[in-house]
Amino acid sequence: MQLLHQVKYLIKKEVLLEWRSKYALNGVLLYVVSTVFVCFLSFVSIVPVTWNALFWIIMLFASINAVSKGFLHESKGQQLYIYTIASPLALIISKTIYNVLLMMLLTLIALFFYMMVFDYVPQDLGLYIVATVLGSLSFSTIFTMISAIASKAGNGGMLMAILSFPVIIPVLIVLIKLTKNAIDGLDRSVSLDEIGLLLIINALVAAVTLLLFPYLWRD
């Protein structure tokens, strides 16, 4: 009960902080919009397979920027203060949930903008949206943990990329395969394997994160 209360409070704190500055939301949104625009201006017309791959590459870099902000941009004093008032489990759960919410919002906005600019709609839009929701879920669970590790190592951006890319590549491959099915409008039962695998990877990452984060947090 204590944990639930703390998680709720910490999420409220994150949302409030974000709402005051609107830095991550506006910053990453601007990043995505301008990247999509640059891509449109350089490609103009595009085959669906490239359209799909491009979307995930844009989202990959956008989500690294959005999620890594959580731990990397917190000052040492702030971390120490949170450490004294909340349990590490509450902290990691709240950060992950907040990042998942943020990423889902961002990805959905980005997807609609992307479809609008390129004037292309996947054949099975419902499945595509499910895939983007799953994608933002996996991106945020993985990047939250890795950014915590990178911030503790005290060598921000560079380490973040090195540590997270090998972990995110399998997820990205499965996501691109799943969204390719959605673009081709294949029967949804074909994609169940990929959805299951993504959920399993997410559950695995979440379990390992919950087990390991308390050790990481204690200095």
Q: Report the interface residues with another protein, using CB under 8 A.
A: 145, 149, 152-155, 159, 162-163, 165-167, 169-170, 173-174, 177, 193-194, 197, 201, 204, 208-209, 212, 215-216
Cβ at position 175, least distance to another protein in Å: 12
Pick between residue 118 and residue 143 the one whose CB is nearest to another protein.
143
Pick between residue 90 and residue 206 the one whose CB is nearest to another protein.
206
Pick between residue 31 and residue 83 the one whose CB is nearest to another protein.
83
Pick between residue 3 and residue 204 the one whose CB is nearest to another protein.
204
Cβ at position 167, least distance to another protein in Å: 5
Cβ at position 84, least distance to another protein in Å: 20
- The total number of residues written for the chain in this structure: 219
Q: 4 exposed, middle or buried (CB, 10 Å; 0-12, 13-18, 19+)?
A: exposed
Q: Report phi then psi at 158, rounded to 5.
A: -60, -50
Structure tokens at 46: 């595009």
Question: DSSP secondary structure string, 177-217?
Answer: HHHHHHHHT--GGGGHHHHHHHHHHHHHHHHHHHHHHHHHH
Pick between residue 13 and residue 177 the one whose CB is nearest to another protein.
177
Cβ at position 32, least distance to another protein in Å: 26
Cβ at position 153, least distance to another protein in Å: 5
Contact 55, 114 (CB under 8 A): yes
The number of CA neighbours under 13 Å toward the Cβ of 140 is 23
